Amino acid sequence: MGRRGLRTYEGRVLARQDEDLDDQGAGFDIGTLLGRRRLLQLGGAGAAAGLLAACGSSATATTSAATATASATSSSGLAEIPDETAGPYPGDGSNGPDALEESGIVRSDIRSSFGTSTTTAEGVPMTLQLSVFDLADGGAAYEGAAVYAWHCNRDGEYSMYSEGITQENYLRGVQVADADGLVTFTSIWPACYDGRWPHIHFEVYPDVASITDSANAIATSQVAMPQAACEVVYATTGYEQSVTNLSKVSLATDNVFSDDQGASQTPTVSGDATSGFVVALPVGVDATTQTATGMGGSAPAGGGGTPPDGGTPPSGAPGAATTSSATS
């Protein structure tokens, strides 16, 4: 058992607290396999073998589930990440403000604004790790891919758009994937605002030179934050409104994740609300994807929910509805 009695496995909070280990979903299974692969690379086969032996039957069950998932998806064991809306607050130039044109956007720690402001967003610490794989290249690690990630603050507001923080650009940043396809962001846990399941937006670009035009994005998707960890975070000071908002939404009713309840978009989570959480998700993309001109990397509409004091997104761009119906 982990913090506050939550079930965990290998230090990660189980997203589906009432389900068996082998019913945690493809994202959890793949995360387990990726973690062991990195352990083999970093700690040697002997250390990894010892750890796997200690895991016993639970490890066997998870590995079996992962094997079945792999055979049903691709040679790399990973399906392409679902295409989702970028929402009305992307900050990528497709709907008003463009953080991707600003010097300083390529950074790992996205908690503070850069440029003329140094305001820091408060909240429970979170490290986001996205491992990008190119399915068009047999599932190989997508070294050199640029990932733009953004999300709301502890109050459910988006920098560059929400009232009072239009001059801020915190909780937005770009990282370039390393040889393992990994990008890492230091951030805070996002709020749950009315009408949407807690989430993180991201876009994948073929390289860092491509980020200045949102039409170059080859994937636009969202991370579905696990409920168990959300409940722990939202019990802390500053997230009080998220408790109420989370009680009114579910993955089954969310306009973005309801089709499959975020099966391939739910990350594995480890850590606690004091020292912070590590959120990890494998991301399968097709580098040959051609984004339609003018679409700005934005996926089909459907997302609902309006962050507090969100303001009205500019018109004439994908998702540019009034805040009462804007996707996010």
Q: What is the mean pLDDT of residues 255-276?
A: 97
Give domain status of residue 153, yes or no: yes
- How far is it, in rounded angstroms, from Cα 152 to Cα 172? 9
Give the residue-averaged pLDDT of 209-228: 97
pTM: 0.74
Q: Are residues 106 and 45 in the same domain?
A: no
Q: What angle do CA 116, 117, 121 make, to 5 degrees?
A: 155
Cα dihedral: 55, 58, 60, 61 (round 10): -160
Looking at the structure, tell me whether residues 29 and 163 fall in a common domain: no
13 lies in the same domain as 148: no
In a domain, 291, yes or no: no
242 and 141, same structural domain?
yes
Asked if residue 154 has pLDDT above 80, the reply is yes
25 belongs to a structural domain: yes
Write the pLDDT tens digit of every residue in 277-290.
999 999 999 999 87
The conformation of residue 320, written as its DSSP 8-state character, comes to -
Instruction: Please state, in angstroms and rounded to a whole number, the distance separating the CA atoms of residues 67 and 72.
Output: 9
Across the range 187-213, mean pLDDT stands at 98
Rounded Cα gap, residues 295 and 291, in angstroms: 7
Which positions ≥6 away from 168 have C-beta within 8 Å?
Answer: 113, 117, 119, 159, 160
Residues 231 and 278 in one domain: yes
Is residue 120 located within the same domain as residue 251?
yes
- Residue range 293-322: mean pLDDT, rounded: 43
Residue 85 DSSP code? -
State whether residue 42 is helix, strand or coil. Answer: helix
Helix, strand and coil percent figures for the chain, each rounded to 5: 25, 20, 55
Q: Which residues are within 8 A (CB) of 140 and not within 5 positions of it... i.e. 6 or more apart? A: 76, 133, 134, 181
Are 49 and 174 within one domain? no
324 vs 228, residue with greater confidence: 228
**For residue 307, pLDDT beyond 90:** no
Instruction: Report, in angstroms and rounded to the nearest whole number, the Rg of the chain calculated over CA atoms.
Output: 19
Cα angle, residue 171 at apex, residues 303 and 297 outer, rounded to 5°? 45
- Max Cα distance, the chain (Å): 58
Report the range of poorest mean pLDDT among 77-81, 144-148, 170-174, 183-187: 77-81
Mean pLDDT of 264-288: 97
Concatenate the DSSP letters of all residues of 293-316 into one string. TTSTT---S------TT---PPSS
How would residue 16 be classed by pLDDT, with cut points 50, 70 and 90?
Answer: low
Q: Which residue has the higher pLDDT, 182 or 53?
A: 182
Q: Residues 39-52: what's their mean pLDDT?
A: 36
* Domain identity same for 54 and 184: no
Coil, helix or strand at residue 171: coil
The mean-pLDDT minimum among 9-18, 81-90, 135-144, 246-255 falls in: 9-18
State the CATH number of the domain containing residue 244. 2.60.130.10
- Out of 72, 91, 122, a domain closes at 72
User: Which 3 state secondary structure label does DSSP give 221?
Assistant: strand
Residue 61 covered by a domain: yes
Confidence of residue 328 (pLDDT cuts 50, 70, 90): confident
Taking the chain, what is the end-to-end CA distance rounded to the nearest angstrom? 34
How many distinct structural domains can be found in the chain? 2
Distance CA 253, CA 270 (A): 26
How confident is the model over 67-103, as pLDDT tens digits? Answer: 333 333 333 479 999 999 999 999 999 999 999 999 9
What residues are paired with 188 via a beta bridge? 125
What angle is formed at CA 137 by the lines to CA 107 and CA 179, rounded to 5 degrees? 35
pLDDT at residue 311, rounded to an integer: 47
Residue 81 located in a structural domain: no
Strands 182-188 and 172-176: what pairing? unpaired
pLDDT above 80 (res 265): yes
Collapse the DSSP code of 279 into the 3-class scheme (helix H, G, I; strand E, B; otherwise coil) and give the result: strand
What sign results for the dihedral spanned by CA atoms 19, 20, 25, 31? positive
The residue-averaged pLDDT of 304-316 equals 51
Q: Is residue 236 included in any domain, yes or no?
A: yes
Look at residue 22 in the predicted model and tell me its pLDDT. 58
What percentage of residues in the chain have a pLDDT greater than 90? Answer: 64
Encode pLDDT of 240-253 as tens digits.
999 999 999 999 99
State whether 177 and 135 are in the same domain: yes
CA dist list (Å): 77 to 72, 196, 218, 265? 8, 29, 20, 15
pLDDT score for 188: 98
- Mean per-residue pLDDT over the chain, rounded: 79
Whether residue 111 is found in the same domain as residue 65: no
Domain encompassing residue 28:
7-72
- Domain boundary pick from 285, 302, 322: 285
Q: Are residues 147 and 201 in the same domain?
A: yes
- Going by the DSSP 8-state scheme, the letter that residue 191 receives in this structure is P
Residue 290 placed within a domain: no
**Residue where one domain finishes, among candidates 54, 72, 90:** 72
Q: Is the pLDDT of residue 191 over 70?
A: yes
25 and 112 housed in the same domain: no
| Cα-Cα-Cα-Cα dihedral sign, residues 307, 313, 317, 322 | positive
Cα–Cα dist 174/52, whole Å: 35
Please check whether residue 206 lies inside any domain of the structure: yes
